[in-house]
Structure 1
Amino acid sequence: MNGSDQTERPDGTAAILSTIGEVAYRWTREGDRLEWGGDALALFGIASAEAIATGHAFDTLLDDASPLARHDSLLIGADHGGGVPYQIEYALRPSGPRGPVLWIEDTGRWYADGGETARRAEGVMRVINERHAREQRLAFLSGYDDVTGLYNRSALLDILDQTICDAKERDVNAAFLLVAIDDFRLINDAYGYRAGDRVLAAVARRIRGRLRDGDIMGRFSGHKLGLVLMGCDENEMAFAAERFLAAVRDDVVATADGTVSITISVGGVAVPHDAGNREEAMERVQESLGVARDSGRGRFVGYSPSPERDAQRQTNITLSQQLIGALSEQRLRLAFQPVVDIHSRETVFHESLLRLAQPDGSIASAGQIVPLAERLGLSRLFDLAVLDRVLETLARHPDARLSLNVAPETAAGADWLAKFAKTVSQRPDIGSRLIVEITETSAIRNLDETAYFVSTVHDLGARLAIDDFGAGFTSFRNLRALRIDMVKIDGSFIATLPTSPDDQIFVRRLVELAQDLGIETVAEWVQDEETVALLSSWGVNRIQGHLSGAATLSPPWK
């Protein structure tokens, strides 16, 4: 093989390599000669064979970022008779310092031929630009965010961790700020998710322009950016945050998808003063951001220690454990309150009400348990447990007709409906004897979700009632669209009905509209006959309350 004439080995190896974009070579120390097999000139994009005729000449094509001498990087180790293998990657600029880069994979073996230093080497080179680009991309993504070009969450939190350690060791201050774009979901809905990414990148550029040397910014999650500010204490955080707030709010953000007016909310925590480790910093900065967003758009709130808040959280943990324990110990009970016909006073169905047996033998009511379960995010677990008991009761008592309440988050999920559907598929009669109650506020929170829930409940043979009707002032157009079967008028309008002209007007109008739509009405909290007389004159169908019967733990069926 030689640099000027493309010769072919007897076995045709050079020709085969050329077809797949590779060339073979042989280097000998004597004369520093490089001999090539295959079309090396075409592979490297050069016209002169002299440019690759020697090892020294080839080394002059190396990019500045590559080893100073290619063969010095290869010839490492000791040859004990069988040669020494090597494989390295390096960059060439065959067209000069400003020309395109060729990334080369160089694989071969060098031989000492009985001496102590390399006398010759044989190998194969190939261009790996595409593979190198992929590897560089993966390396970038391992530490950086694709959308903003900033540090990604993992790298940002590693930097935060190191900053906290350094601040403790050197007794200096730092701060961790969390920035969120206000109403980001509206941007995605109006312009699309790609526009949302562009807005996030634009906000990041603006904030980066207000950072000091040494400050760090990364993408924390979704539409949130994390900032690590060096030499910044709890008092200086507010001034720093105002720089960032102003950078975003003082001018509109123009993107290829449209121009939007943006504000941000910022939470902050001083480290290590108010957070001694990464976990505490993340928890407290997100808490501060939540307070800022609840206060309105474009606000900053710094973390402030609160013994009362910490005590309440500890209490929540204890209460949560107690509620979970009650479920696992099967201490949940059902109480049944009759809903009766307003004229005959015959029971039409019973509402199933949650009760919880306490370890001391006392019984906790739904009013004690439900708000606590909702606050602690346990409503779904209790709703599923109540559903089990209700379905079991309906299966055991063919004459039973029951209603049960479902929390908003439960209705939005799939597992409650799946459990109900499984039971109805085995006992079709159960569906027709069940009324599912959802609150008015949950019904109008997401009409699409509610419509799906109502439709599925109807398909399973059950009926749907709106509980506490009137408290949320939903439109009757929504009731008609949702195909609601029944409304239960909120008891707060019924309790003082005989003495409240305003409540009388309101309830009468509700009943009239419900009648026009063919929707049954149930009045809650009915306590006296005077109230019944008014409700009956307006056309209310059913009543519920102490007058018609209190809730009891004893099943009303034999």
Structure 2
Amino acid sequence: MNNIQDDSAQKPDGDQPSRAGANEHVVAATEASNGASDRGLQTMFEFDPSDGTLSWSDADAASRIFGVEREKVAATGDAFSACIIEEEDEIRVAAFLGQKPSYSCEYQLRRADGAGHWVEERGGWIGSGAGRRLISVIRSIEGRKRREEQLSWLALNDELTGLLNRAHLRKTLETHIARLTSEGQTGAYILAGIDDVGAINADFGFEAADTVIVETSKRLAGLLGPKDRIGRVAGTKFGIMINDCDDEQLRQTCVRLLNVVRESVVETKSGAVAASVSLGAVSLPEQATTTNETMTRAEAALDAAKRIGKSSWSSFTDKTDVVSMRRRNTHMSDVILTALNERRIRLAFQPIVNDLDEVPTKFECLIRMHGEDGQLVPAPEFIPAAERLGLVHLLDRRVLELALNTLAICPNIHLNVNISMETVKDFVWAEGYIALLRAHQEFTNRITVELTETQIIDSIDATIEFVSEIKRLGCSFGIDDFGAGYTSFRNLKAMDIDILKIDGSFVTGVSASRENQLFVRTLLDLARNFGMKTVAEWVDNEADAMLLKGLGVDFLQGFMIGKPEITPNWLPEGAPNDAPQRSMDRG
């Protein structure tokens, strides 16, 4: 292991981030936007070969391009050439000597303050004899070059932390393993995962979690030697490549990495956070000889470390559990947490109407997740995993936040939101959910919270207590998929239900099924006796809709009424991902 030192200067090839991390590139992006003010900035000059002088068509534009006062703009060809950074383009030199009829080139001008400024120059000769002149246009392309530089940087680095991104880290790891193998040396790959990011999100918010991720990356990178490498492989995980490292040095390195993260709290806008990481280590090339094998075994070792407890580390052995389901769970955990942190959890709004010709004002909020590639991830691919991994609380919370944001912006809208039983029966999470409603009580009379009937059966006492609290705040309560379970009359009365949503399996094709018609009639009679409104789900044709209304169903929902939309025309652009100003809360 190399001596522990600051490697902030080790970035000649773009592989190693500076200690400032991505902040330098935030500055670059800002400069690029500032460069936008120079977009379209251009001027023309005329070069007289007889005396080497330049005449500018727009001296003000020229002074802005050169970054000097009007009187100090280059007045000769030689003075202009002296302002060009690095070696002057051969084609340009030949053109000024009269050896080329026309030319085009890009280069950087050195301004008076020493900064470089990218320009494009195009020109050609006109006239003949003593009247022959070189006419050229010089145009600022600083903004474009800055954007190209930023995109080039993002192709290799993670935008949030400035570390190598996953794709570039995999290539670097492949080279790392090959070098260790060819030179007969030993090294290591360490996977560092931040502990309990879900709890940080819940207690401090997403911005605080981002701050913890960035600060953790700086602390880990700051401990590495000049030849070591680190990258962000997932939302809360970092891959670290160590050179010249035997078993004892690997142990010492892991201990140092654990300590550097937990030795002091991370200061965020929401308060101080005590962060820690767990580590999974793989000795190279002894325990893995390919990139995939290395990363898979590091995941398994990290999983073993997390089972020990926070701020622990584990080295891969032949006994390390590498069950595929565990790996899939770990991967899905990262997918969900990253989507939450990057605000890729969205709502799709499906209309609920009283009559077929009604303009909808009531909508059910259906959760959606955008993948890193921009494609929608179907709910069945992540909701079961979220429930299994204990992350569904965070999704419930985010759905409620987005719904409240929508209600604040759209004063005439009523929303139905779903909540999982895992949140309802967990006292801490249930209280947090209720506290969020309490903080936005001006909107609660436009919210209906839904639970599925099959979930209620398993935790009836927790449900009754939860429903009592949210109704005290002004919310309505609905049972989804009613008819799929066996809720007793006593429990229906105890929960004070406002809405019964008839399970869609009894609604689809109801106009052609006498059995379904009989079942729907029975449910409607039950609902009327308890003073509940009814919603028929999965309405997909007019015949079913007309029959259901004839039977007395209060509301209709389904593809015939409208498909779920993430950006319906009544929702302002950009909403509801970001919270509105409180001054807008009352519409």
When the two structures are superposed, what TM-score results if normalisation uses the length of structure 1?
A: 0.51
Residue 515 of structure 1 and its aligned partner are, at CA, apart by 12
Superimposed CA distance per residue, residues 353-389 of structure 1 (whole angstroms, 9 cap, x where no aligned partner): xxxxxxxxxxxxxxxxxxxxxxxxxxx79xx9xxxxx
Match in the other structure for 1:137: 150
1:67 aligns with 2:89: no
Match in the other structure for 1:394: none
Supply the AA of the counterpart residue of 1:92.
R
Contact 2:277 2:310 in 1 (8 A): yes
**Counterpart-to-counterpart distance in 2, 1:463 and 1:201:** 39
Match in the other structure for 2:118: 103
Supply the AA of the counterpart residue of 2:108.
Y
**Counterpart-to-counterpart distance in 2, 1:80 and 1:49:** 28
- Summarize the alignment of residues 121-200 of structure 1 with structure 2, pairs less than 5 Å apart: 121-200=134-213
**Counterpart-to-counterpart distance in 2, 1:110 and 1:166:** 55
Match in the other structure for 1:342: none
Contact 1:408 1:442 in 2 (8 A): no
Match in the other structure for 2:332: none
**Counterpart-to-counterpart distance in 2, 1:194 and 1:21:** 38
Residue 59 of structure 1 and its aligned partner are, at CA, apart by 2.5
**Counterpart-to-counterpart distance in 1, 2:188 and 2:228:** 10
1:55 aligns with 2:84: no
CA gap of 1:267–1:113, structure 2 versus 1, over 3 A, is farther
Contact 2:227 2:243 in 1 (8 A): yes
Contact 1:84 1:111 in 2 (8 A): no
CA gap of 1:79–1:184, structure 2 versus 1, over 3 A, is same
**Counterpart-to-counterpart distance in 1, 2:87 and 2:54:** 18
Match in the other structure for 2:43: 23
1:465 aligns with 2:478: no
**Counterpart-to-counterpart distance in 2, 1:168 and 1:19:** 51
Q: Residue 36 of structure 1: which of 32, 39, 56 is its match?
A: 56
Supply the AA of the counterpart residue of 1:477.
E
CA gap of 1:283–1:47, structure 2 versus 1, over 3 A, is same
Supply the AA of the counterpart residue of 2:80.
F
1:85 aligns with 2:107: no
- Summarize the alignment of residues 307-386 of structure 1 with structure 2, pairs less than 5 Å apart: none
1:477 aligns with 2:454: no
CA gap of 1:254–1:129, structure 2 versus 1, over 3 A, is same
Contact 2:425 2:463 in 1 (8 A): no
CA gap of 1:81–1:301, structure 2 versus 1, over 3 A, is same
**Counterpart-to-counterpart distance in 1, 2:120 and 2:215:** 39
Q: Residue 281 of structure 1: which of 281, 285, 294 is its match?
A: 294
Secondary structure of residue in 1 paired with 2:264: coil
CA gap of 1:408–1:228, structure 2 versus 1, over 3 A, is closer
Secondary structure of residue in 1 paired with 2:287: coil
Residue 214 of structure 1 and its aligned partner are, at CA, apart by 1.0
Residue 133 of structure 1 and its aligned partner are, at CA, apart by 2.5
| Further displaced range: 150-159 or 49-58 | 49-58
Contact 1:480 1:517 in 2 (8 A): no
Match in the other structure for 2:230: 217
Contact 1:274 1:305 in 2 (8 A): no
Supply the AA of the counterpart residue of 2:249.
E
**Counterpart-to-counterpart distance in 2, 1:248 and 1:221:** 18
Secondary structure of residue in 2 paired with 1:145: coil
What is the alpha-carbon root mean square deviation over aligned residues?
Answer: 5.0
Residue 110 of structure 1 and its aligned partner are, at CA, apart by 6.6
**Counterpart-to-counterpart distance in 1, 2:424 and 2:259:** 39
Q: Residue 304 of structure 1: which of 308, 317, 335 is its match?
A: 317
CA gap of 1:251–1:241, structure 2 versus 1, over 3 A, is same
Match in the other structure for 2:308: 295
Superimposed CA distance per residue, residues 82-122 of structure 1 (whole angstroms, 9 cap, x where no aligned partner): 834323131321x243xx443322233479999xxxx9743
Superimposed CA distance per residue, residues 258-287 of structure 1 (whole angstroms, 9 cap, x where no aligned partner): 211111111111222212111111111111
Tell which structure's C-alpha radius of gyration is larger. Answer: 1
Supply the AA of the counterpart residue of 2:458.
I
Supply the AA of the counterpart residue of 1:85.
Y
CA gap of 1:453–1:172, structure 2 versus 1, over 3 A, is farther
1:46 aligns with 2:68: yes
Match in the other structure for 2:217: 204
Superimposed CA distance per residue, residues 122-157 of structure 1 (whole angstroms, 9 cap, x where no aligned partner): 321122333332222222222222222222222222
CA gap of 1:141–1:76, structure 2 versus 1, over 3 A, is farther
Supply the AA of the counterpart residue of 2:290.
N
Supply the AA of the counterpart residue of 1:157.
R
CA gap of 1:288–1:82, structure 2 versus 1, over 3 A, is same
Contact 2:189 2:281 in 1 (8 A): yes
| Further displaced range: 50-59 or 270-279 | 50-59
Residue 245 of structure 1 and its aligned partner are, at CA, apart by 0.6
Contact 2:122 2:138 in 1 (8 A): yes
Secondary structure of residue in 2 paired with 1:267: strand
Match in the other structure for 1:503: none
Residue 299 of structure 1 and its aligned partner are, at CA, apart by 0.3
Question: Which consecutive residues of structure 1, in runs of 5 or more, have no partner in the other structure?
Answer: 1-17, 318-379, 385-406, 415-438, 489-510, 520-558
Residue 23 of structure 1 and its aligned partner are, at CA, apart by 0.9
**Counterpart-to-counterpart distance in 2, 1:466 and 1:255:** 40
Secondary structure of residue in 2 paired with 1:143: coil
Match in the other structure for 1:259: 272
**Counterpart-to-counterpart distance in 1, 2:290 and 2:312:** 25
CA gap of 1:110–1:208, structure 2 versus 1, over 3 A, is farther
Contact 1:217 1:225 in 2 (8 A): yes
Contact 1:237 1:302 in 2 (8 A): no
CA gap of 1:92–1:82, structure 2 versus 1, over 3 A, is closer
**Counterpart-to-counterpart distance in 1, 2:47 and 2:316:** 67
Match in the other structure for 2:512: none
Identical counterparts, % of pairs: 23
**Counterpart-to-counterpart distance in 2, 1:209 and 1:37:** 53
Contact 2:451 2:478 in 1 (8 A): no
Supply the AA of the counterpart residue of 2:63.
L
- Summarize the alignment of residues 5-20 of structure 1 with structure 2, pairs less than 5 Å apart: none
CA gap of 1:456–1:67, structure 2 versus 1, over 3 A, is same
Contact 1:104 1:126 in 2 (8 A): yes
| Further displaced range: 28-37 or 262-271 | 28-37
Residue 518 of structure 1 and its aligned partner are, at CA, apart by 9.0
Secondary structure of residue in 2 paired with 1:465: helix
Supply the AA of the counterpart residue of 1:54.
T
Supply the AA of the counterpart residue of 1:46.
V
**Counterpart-to-counterpart distance in 2, 1:228 and 1:478:** 49
Match in the other structure for 2:251: 238
Superimposed CA distance per residue, residues 171-209 of structure 1 (whole angstroms, 9 cap, x where no aligned partner): 212211111211112222222222222222212222222
**Counterpart-to-counterpart distance in 2, 1:19 and 1:201:** 33
